Amino acid sequence: MAITLQELLEAGEERLSLELVWGEKYLKRTIEEKAINRPGLALTGFFQYFAQRRLQVFGLAEFTYLKSLGVKERETRLRAILEKNVPGIIIARNRNPLPELRTLAEEYKTPLFRTTMITSHFINESTVLIEELTAPRGRVQGTMLDVMGIGVLLQGRAGIGKSETALSLIEKGYSLVSDDVTEVVKNSRGRIMASANEMTRYHMEIRGVGIVHVPSLFGMGSIRRETELDIVIDFHPYVNDADEDRTGMMPSEIDVLDVKLPYYALPVSPGRDMANMVETTALNHKLKMLGHDAAKELDEKVIGTFLNRSGK
């Protein structure tokens, strides 16, 4: 997913102290490659490899080098870069663009930006920002909670009791991230980050009660802005001979933004305390992640004992 210069400017105005110097009409240009390039080598005339699809940042080194050149040479070298049709140019350390650069930018319709940041900070910050802006995102149906540091997404058909279970979990001291609709983003490490929709954040709808504001009722500790999505728990009505896994040794997975996540189907029936079920599932998952798989270990113990017996 490519972003436009406009999107970068909007998101980076504050975070990158980014300011447009010239080129408002050309902000629809897209950044094809999500990385930042320092055109030092290209300025010296080396073009065998030049990352022309990236944003170009002119820092102290580039400036000092250009200043060391004669006016004519400076123009030639800059033209060679602008000719490549780079998406945009950013000048660090709040410098004024050299007059040649400004003229060439207009000639090649290349937007020119300025930042107060020093080059290395700008490169770090903008890489992160571009990564965030271009990350795959989506929306999933389900209530998101943080249970002891484990990000749990509760799914299941309407009316099965997701919000009610969430409420019980909040009362047990865990935190709500979002109710019913959860926004997901895949970060650069390939993990799914879950948060609430801006509009309905921290609100819940409880049948018979209506819409409630969770932190007002349960305090600031009852909410979390964002959490990593670790497991998906699906509530379904209890059916007897469902093909369910009774040992927990046959794990299922579900795809969220092309990331495979552990999936647990929990049957709902009268008398089953679902908040407790979710808590136990999350804890057991945490234990498995620490390398302690209770089902597998018990099975190994049983098999070991049986092999001894049958051998005699």
Partner 1 sequence: MAKEQTIVREFKVENKYGIHARPAALLVKVAGKFACEILIGKKGSEVSAKSIMGLLTIEGHQGAVLYVQATGEDAEEAMEGIAELFEKKFFED
Q: Which residues bind partner 1 (CB under 8 A)?
A: 240-241, 245-247, 249, 295, 298-299, 302-303, 305-307, 309-310
Count Cβ atoms within 10 A of the Cβ of residue 267 and give its class: 0-12 exposed, 13-18 middle, 19 or more buried. Answer: middle
Closer residue to partner 1, CB minimum distance, 1 or 307: 307
- Smallest gap from residue 250 Cβ to partner 1 (A): 9
Closer of 205 and 297 to partner 1 (Cβ): 297
- Tokens 């932190």 found at: 215
By C-beta, is 13 or 244 nearer to partner 1?
244
CB of 289 to partner 1, least distance (A): 20
190 vs 311 by CB, closer to partner 1: 311
Closest separation between CB of residue 243 and partner 1, Å? 8
> Going by C-beta distance under 8 Å and a sequence separation of 6 or more, which residues neighbour residue 99?
none
C-alpha dist (Å) from residue 193 to 94, 139, 151, 234, 264: 34, 11, 9, 19, 19
Q: Residue 214: which of 142, 227, 205 has the closest Cα?
A: 205
What minimum distance in Å lies between the beta carbon of 293 and partner 1?
Answer: 11
- Kindly tell me which of 171 and 245 has the beta carbon lying closer to partner 1: 245
The least CB distance from residue 309 to partner 1, in Å, is 4
Provide, rounded to whole angstroms, the least separation between the CB of residue 269 and partner 1. Answer: 14
State how far the Cα of 234 lies from the Cα of 91, in Å rounded to an integer.
51
Q: How many Å apart are CA 209 and CA 171, to the nearest integer?
A: 16
Residue closer to partner 1 by CB (options 96, 247) is 247
Greatest Cα pair distance, the chain, in angstroms, is: 95
Nearer to partner 1, 68 or 310 (CB): 310
We find the least distance from the C-beta atom of residue 295 to partner 1, in angstroms, to be 6
Distance in angstroms (rounded) separating the CA atoms of residues 187 and 194: 10
User: How far apart are alpha carbons 1 and 282 in whole angstroms?
Assistant: 34
Cα(254)–Cα(211) distance, rounded to whole angstroms?
30
Whether the CA torsion 111, 2, 200, 145 is positive or negative: it is: negative
